[in-house]
């Protein structure tokens, strides 16, 4: 386990669990914690024995965004998405799951959106509460939120700062799993282990194709899908088909080994 005081990183087999550890400020990120989060995500992506990361916050909240007290004291924070070293910038080669309890607000919403999946508790709150203080979203939210839930719903959140519950987040596609309060982290870890158990090359190539197709024509996107699938077709598909032919995964069961 790595403990940098404000950020805790530990492994559960092939799962990296990253915990923002500033519960006294609802896990708001100051510059030091934001830099540590960037480094932790990059270390996870580079680790050959790690397959999926789970990102969470300590003390019942996910992340309340940037530490505005630090900003008020005159310390500028870099754009988390636009800056090459920001925690919301990198396109990782492996999936990250957000375990959202309590507040995922302002930049914390951006941190949740940089993840591939979001497991939300019923009592979770998603919102652009920075609207009240004139702090702009520079964490990718204005780009990723409309792509995820549509322009109308995204503008409703961006313009009004209204709070979205866990149940509404599920209904609009902002969250992917809804769990009782207190269960986001164990549910996210269980989901991460499910994903980690699949053959990894095909899963990662399919993920990357889905992410990178946005600004491509259909013809270009299909060509990219074909290119990204080559390694899996060469290394995983034939052996997987052989397992199926031998009887694995029949009758609705999911065979991962």
> Hey, what CATH topology would domain 2-196 get?
2-enoyl-CoA Hydratase; Chain A, domain 1 (3.90.226)
Q: Say if strands 15-20 and 103-105 run parallel, antiparallel, or are unpaired.
A: unpaired
CATH of domain 200-245: 1.10.287
Indicate where the chain has its CATH 1.10.287 domain(s): 200-245
Least confident of 28-42, 121-135, 229-243: 229-243
Q: 162: alpha, beta or left, given left = phi > 0 and alpha = psi -120 to 50?
A: beta
What are the DSSP calls for 137-200, one per residue?
--SSHHHHHHHHH-HHHHHHHHHH---EEHHHHHHHTS-SEEE-TT-HHHHHHHHHHHHHTS-H
Residue 3 DSSP class = E
Q: What's the pTM?
A: 0.91
Name the most confidently modeled range: 2-11, 52-61, 131-140, 227-236: 52-61
Per DSSP, the chain holds a count of helices (H) and strands (E) of 10, 10
Indicate where the chain has its CATH 3.90.226.10 domain(s): 2-196
pLDDT of residue 249: 61
Q: Which of 63, 97, 64, 66 is nearest to 175 (CA)?
A: 97
Only one residue has tokens 């409703």, namely 156
Q: If you average pLDDT over residues 1-14, what whole number do you get? A: 87
Q: Indicate if the pLDDT at residue 19 is higher than 60.
A: yes
pLDDT digits (tens, 9 = 90+) for 141-182: 999 999 999 999 999 999 999 999 999 999 999 999 999 999
pLDDT of residue 79: 87
């Amino acid at each position: 386990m790595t403990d940098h005081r404000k950020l805790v990183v530990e492994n559960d087999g092939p799962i990296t669990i990253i915990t923002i550890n500033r519960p006294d400020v609802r896990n708001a990120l100051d510059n030091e914690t934001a830099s540590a989060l960037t480094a932790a995500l990059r270390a996870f992506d580079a680790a050959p024995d790690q397959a999926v990361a789970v990102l969470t916050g300590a003390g019942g909240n996910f992340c309340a965004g940037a530490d505005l007290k630090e900003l008020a004291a005159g310390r500028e924070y870099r754009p988390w998405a636009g800056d090459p070293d920001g925690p919301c910038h990198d396109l990782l080669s492996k999936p990250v799951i957000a375990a959202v309890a309590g507040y995922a607000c302002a930049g914390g919403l951006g941190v949740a959106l940089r993840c591939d999946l979001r497991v939300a508790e019923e009592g979770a709150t998603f919102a652009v509460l920075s609207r009240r203080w004139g702090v702009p979203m520079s964490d990718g939210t204005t780009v990723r939120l409309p792509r995820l839930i549509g322009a109308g719903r995204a503008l409703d959140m961006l313009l009004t700062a209204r709070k979205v519950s866990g149940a509404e987040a599920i209904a609009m596609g902002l969250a992917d799993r809804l769990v009782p309060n207190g269960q986001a982290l164990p549910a996210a870890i269980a989901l991460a282990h499910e994903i980690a158990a699949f053959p990894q090359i095909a899963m990662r190539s399919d993920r990357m194709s889905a992410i990178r197709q946005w600004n491509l024509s259909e013809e270009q996107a299909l060509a990219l899908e074909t290119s990204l699938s080559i390694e899996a077709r060469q290394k995983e598909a034939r052996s997987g088909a052989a397992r199926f032919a031998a009887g694995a995964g029949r009758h609705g069961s999911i065979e991962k080994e």
